[in-house]
Amino acid sequence: MYIIAGLGNPTKTYEGTRHNIGFEVIDRLADRCRTQVTVRKNKVLYAKTILEGERVILIKPQTYMNLSGEAVREVADYYKTEPENIIVIYDDINLEPGQLRVRQKGSAGGHNGIKNIIAHLGTQEFPRVRVGVGEKPKGWDLADYVLARFSPEDRKIMDEAVDLAADAVEMILREGVAAAMNTYNAKKK
């Protein structure tokens, strides 16, 4: 069984913001499975489904970004899921809008949601799909930037990126992380 966690912030206030791109990918995966991530249990919204022949639990933590680890750990403990079977999808300001980076493991890279997941799981060794949202413009506060919505031009790019990130997750399940890294880590032209 796999847990696929898309990071974001709960409530309509944050829909469509850079920080919620993980939620958008989870919703896209749910659409492909003809389900919705609407069941509430403790600190998550979730859906159980089959994806690429694997049993998966799609989750959207409802703890706010900086406490994502609480929700991920709770679900991992309940389903007795090892970190290598937890795929985390989140925004990355160090990548151009729409660029993807798939990793088997790694540091938090300054992302507070990932930092909290690492703290709660006690390891950095879980696969992740980073979705580029672009660098913070000079003079902007980081929190204001990641909680802002995309420009119309970037929104089109991000809609494509959400599809690609969902494809990358499916490839991880089907062929493994290395295959997804080889396919999706190339720079966008």
Where in the sequence numbering do the catalytic residues fall? 19
DSSP class of residue 18 equals G
Residues contacting residue 94 through CB under 8 Å, at least 6 positions apart: 109, 132, 135
- What is the Cα–Cα distance from 71 to 74, expressed in whole angstroms? 5
Q: Are 98 and 160 in contact (CB under 8 A)?
A: yes
Pairing state between β 44-51 and 2-6: unpaired
